[in-house]
Amino acid sequence: MKFTAEKQEWSNALPMVFRQVFTDSEGATEGKVIGALVSELLASTPDDDLHAAIAHDGPQVLGCILFSRLRFDQDPRQVFLMSPVAVRTDRQKTGIGQRLIAYGLDELRRDKVDFVVTYGDPTYYGKTGFFPISEKVAQAPLPLSHPHGWLGQSLTGAEMVPLKGPSHCVIAFNKPELW
């Protein structure tokens, strides 16, 4: 198994991987939604605003995480949203997800990203350093349907000082039903 950040090389395979993983775990409707989200992220997001962490075994994608930029109107810090995250169903519970997260966060640190947020299971993401945050710390771009799943992590080692101003996500995430 190898890790890469080269999303262009894998862009044709990624939507199908996400669609299958989310279909297996959440049903066909969710699989279609997340597959379409990944397609749109890859097609519409400028390269500087989209990073990837991809685990593969030869030509087969085992898992992937996409990181898209969140802009805060009054804050100069670089912030990214870690979402979506997928590991092939037949390879889950083998440590690939946590290794992917570690790889992706290391890549973002190299790029001088200050903070990463995600929206998901606090128990799972807590294993990789994410902690629950309130919207007083980092305002979500759209209303959260599950505020307990709003999580963050500093990549600089500095204490988390609230991000200033409203946030804005990339176009693909600018849909209330995703939040």
pLDDT, mean of each 10-residue run, the chain (179 residues): 89 95 97 98 97 95 98 97 97 95 97 97 94 96 96 93 96 96
**b/e code 41-63 from CB counts within 10 Å (16+ = b):** bbeebeeebbbbbbbbeeeebbb
DSSP state of 171: G
Give the span between the Cα atoms of 82 and 24, in whole angstroms: 21
Query: Domain residues for 29?
Result: 2-178
Q: Record the tokens describing residue 35, joined without a space.
A: 């597959």
pLDDT at 159 (0 to 100): 86
Residues 6+ apart with CB under 8 A from 124: 97
- Is 1 in contact with 96 (CB distance < 8 Å)? yes
CATH code of residue 30? 3.40.630.30
Residue with tokens 């176009």: 171
> What per-residue confidence (pLDDT) applies to 164?
96
pLDDT of residue 8: 83
| pLDDT for the residue numbered 104 | 98
State the Cα–Cα distance between residues 151 and 118, nearest whole angstrom.
5
Cα–Cα distance between 62 and 54 in angstroms, integer?
A: 8
Q: In the prediction, which pLDDT does 27 show?
A: 97
State the virtual CA torsion across 47, 56, 108, 39 in degrees, nearest 10.
30
151: which residues sit within 8 A by CB, 6+ positions away? 117, 118, 119, 120, 122, 125, 126, 130, 131, 132, 133
DSSP state for residue 179 in the 8-state scheme: -
Structural domain tally of the chain? Answer: 1
